[in-house]
Chain A
Amino acid sequence: NAGVTQTPKFQVLKTGQSMTLQCAQDMNHNSMYWYRQDPGMGLRLIYYSASEGTTDKGEVPNGYNVSRLNKREFSLRLESAAPSQTSVYFCASRTSGVFTDTQYFGPGTRLTVL
């Protein structure tokens, strides 16, 4: 049971390059999330997927696209990377019920855009 996995762990891009961050969860959760974390800013929601087949914008969606490929996988794409997108990116999946609401985070992808 791996939980939430993310690839790659590290990436360096040049301005204008594109890339896709991959995320997968094996906990059969319906909801999945992409956050970015910057010093002094905390975690900010980029996009989320409430269930397979749906995606919605979060607080900072500009410059990103997402795909909920199936229930397990939720990818984040940067079409034309900019230095402002240098950050640590976390994927999370969520379980919720009457007595619980928990997000499980992956290990993160550290992205540098030159």
Chain B
Amino acid sequence: SQKIEQNSEALNIQEGKTATLTCNYTNYSPAYLQWYRQDPGRGPVFLLLIRENEKEKRKERLKVTFDTTLKQSLFHITASQPADSATYLCALASGTYKYIFGTGTRLKVLA
């Protein structure tokens, strides 16, 4: 069955450093992959989408890579700030309308 894996352990990094989060998937070849941010007690918020023919995508301090050979996406936050502390979810489109979400990685940026 299709599966997405994100590091379930929390990631703690120092302010100003680059945070790197990993999303691995199996048994699927998605046309694109999405990243969402979720704050405690709130719904997820869309951040970025990267297509299978795009190796890298950037938005301000965010960068996403997509390696279809490794079946992996990396999500980077450069010059991280305490306000970046949240849980980050990756999601794959499974067919035209369905999505599969990872369990998310909790990031904590220490001041």
Which residues of chain A have a CB within 8 Å of any CB of chain B?
4, 31, 33, 35, 40-45, 48, 50, 56, 58, 90, 92, 94, 100-108
Closest 7 CB pairs of A and B: A105-B43, A42-B103, A43-B101, A102-B46, A42-B101, A105-B44, A50-B97
Q: Hey, which chain B residues are within 8 Å of A58, CB to CB?
A: 98
Tell me the chain B residues, 89-111 only, with Cβ under 8 Å from chain A. Answer: 89, 91, 93, 96-99, 101-104
Docked-complex contact B98 and A42, CB < 8 angstroms? no
Tell me the chain B residues, 57-111 only, with Cβ under 8 Å from chain A. Answer: 89, 91, 93, 96-99, 101-104
B8 at the interface (CB under 8 A from A): yes
Partner of B49, one of A40, A90, A100, A106: A100
For A105, the closest partner residue in chain B by CB is: B43
Complex Cα gap A57–B45 (Å): 24
Q: Tally inter-chain residue pairs, CB-CB below 8 A.
A: 53
Q: Hey, which chain A residues are within 8 Å of B103, CB to CB?
A: 40-42
Docked-complex contact B8 and A103, CB < 8 angstroms? no
Complex Cα gap A90–B100 (Å): 14
Q: Looking at the assembled complex, report how far the CB atom of A53 sits from the nearest CB atom of chain B, in whole angstroms.
A: 14
Partner of B97, one of A31, A43, A100, A105: A31
B22 at the interface (CB under 8 A from A): no
Complex Cα gap A40–B104 (Å): 9
Docked-complex contact A45 and B89, CB < 8 angstroms? no
Complex Cα gap A105–B103 (Å): 16
Docked-complex contact B46 and A43, CB < 8 angstroms? no
Partner of B99, one of A50, A56, A103: A103
For A31, the closest partner residue in chain B by CB is: B97
For B48, the closest partner residue in chain A by CB is: A102
Tell me the chain B residues, 1-44 only, with Cβ under 8 Å from chain A. Answer: 4, 8, 32, 34, 36, 41-44
Complex Cα gap A45–B97 (Å): 11
Docked-complex contact A107 and B43, CB < 8 angstroms? yes
Q: List 16 A-B contacts (CB under 8 A).
A: A40-B8, A40-B103, A42-B4, A43-B44, A43-B89, A50-B96, A50-B97, A90-B44, A100-B49, A101-B32, A101-B34, A101-B49, A102-B34, A105-B45, A106-B43, A107-B42
